[in-house]
Amino acid sequence: MIELRNAVKIFEKGTAIEHTALNRLSLHVDSGEFVTILGSNGAGKSTLFNAICGTFLLDSGRVFLDGMDITYMPEHKRSAMIGRVFQDPMKGTAPHMTIEENLSLAYSRRNAKPLSFAPSRRQTALFRERLAEFGMGLEDRMKTKVGLLSGGQRQAVTLLMCTIVPPKLLLLDEHTAALDPATADKVMAITRKAVADDHLTTLMITHNMASALSTGTRTIMMDEGSILLDLSGEEREHTSVDDLLKLYAGSKHRAFDNDRMMLQ
């Protein structure tokens, strides 16, 4: 479904602060897989997402989505196929537009007639139904400006914007990290349901090792721009957080700062 072959990205090339963010990284994710991604700060997790989304072009290597070579496809064309939720709840929505306008923007993105009035009555009914599933009371606040919502509510709206037309790939970039624990659980529950309902191929970055192992079908750990560990199936089921830490420390051959890695 999504595949990267020998992806290389070097920032500030040729300067003193040259930094290899992706180091010949190869990853193949099958359709319907839900991959959780771990790694310390600067491991290249967000760079991996940016490479998939086309925020920048790779220095070398190729990206395939659904069998199509998208290495040089412009960002806005890729994003018709990719849904992405950021850590910052402010990033995914337009604050001065209403909930229904935000959703309509996302809903119409693939098959919009540019000069049709939006949101249409049919769309509004659909949005109301989908928002009601969250149990946050958002369905009665469709004409509220998104800027007035709480962080959790905004993330829920963003998630719906990304999945209301099922994308070929869903990217979640620590999307619950800025929320309080109760809200984070709620948004994770909504995420699991959305992914399960449409069998979405999903990549999720997280700093929470327990949640990385309990969510999804496969876990990878990144370090210095490449993949250190790739766990799935039975091997993953029998892995605990402690095992992960040991594996990480073992393959790095160095003392490992538990606290800094965990960040929880």
Partner 1 sequence: MKLFIGSLQLGLLYGILALGIYISFRILSIPDLTTEGSFAFGLSVSAAVTASGHPLLALPASLLAGACAGACTGILQTRYRIHPILSGIITTSGLYSINLMVLGGAPNLSLVRAATIFKIVPFLSKNDAMTVLPIFFAVLCTVLIILFYHTHLGMCIRAVGDNEEMVRASSINVDACKVLAFSISNALIALSGAVIAQYQGYADISSSTGILVVGLASVIIGEAVFGKRGITLGFISAIVGSLIYRYIIALATRYSPLDAYMLKLVSAVIVGITLAMPAVKSNFAAARQKRGGAQDD
Dist. CA 172–CA 87, nearest whole Å: 8
The residue range among 63-71, 100-108, 193-201, 217-225 that interacts with partner 1, by the rule CB under 8 A, is 100-108
x/- letters, 144..173, toward partner 1 (CB under 8 A): -----------------x------------
Helix or strand (DSSP H, E) at 132:
helix 121-132
Stretch that binds partner 1, among 23-31, 37-45, 92-100, 194-202 (CB under 8 A): 92-100
From residue 103 to residue 132, the character string flagging contacts with partner 1 as x (rule: CB under 8 A) and all else as - is -xxx-xxx-xxxxxxx--------------
Distance (Å, whole) CA 162 – CA 201: 13
First to last CA, the chain: 32
Alpha-carbon dihedral 101, 102, 103, 104, rounded to 10 degrees: 50
Query: Minimal distance in Å, beta carbon 1 to partner 1?
Result: 19
**Which CB sits closer to partner 1, 91 or 252?**
91
Q: Which residues contact 17 (CB under 8 A, 6 or more apart)?
A: none
The answer to whether the peptide bond before residue 89 is cis (omega within 30 degrees of 0) is no
Pick 106 or 220: Cβ nearer partner 1: 106
**What residue type is assigned to position 34 of the chain?**
F
Asked if 53 is part of the footprint of partner 1 (rule: CB under 8 A), the reply reads: yes
Kindly tell me which of 94 and 132 has the beta carbon lying closer to partner 1: 94
Point out which span in 3-11, 39-47, 69-77, 256-264 binds partner 1 (CB under 8 A). 69-77
Binder to partner 1 among 20, 79, 87, 226 (CB under 8 A)?
79
Binding part of the chain for partner 1, among 91-99, 207-215, 226-234, 244-252 by CB under 8 A, reads 91-99
Query: Which of 202, 233, 240, 196 is CA-nearest to residue 218?
Result: 233
**Cβ 226 to partner 1 shortest distance, Å:** 25
Torsion, Cα 148 153 157 163, to 10 degrees, reads 170
Query: How far apart, in whole angstroms, are the C-alpha atoms of residue 232 and residue 36?
Result: 10
Binding residues for partner 1, rule: CB under 8 A, are 53, 75-77, 79-80, 84, 86, 90-97, 101-102, 104-106, 108-110, 112-118, 161
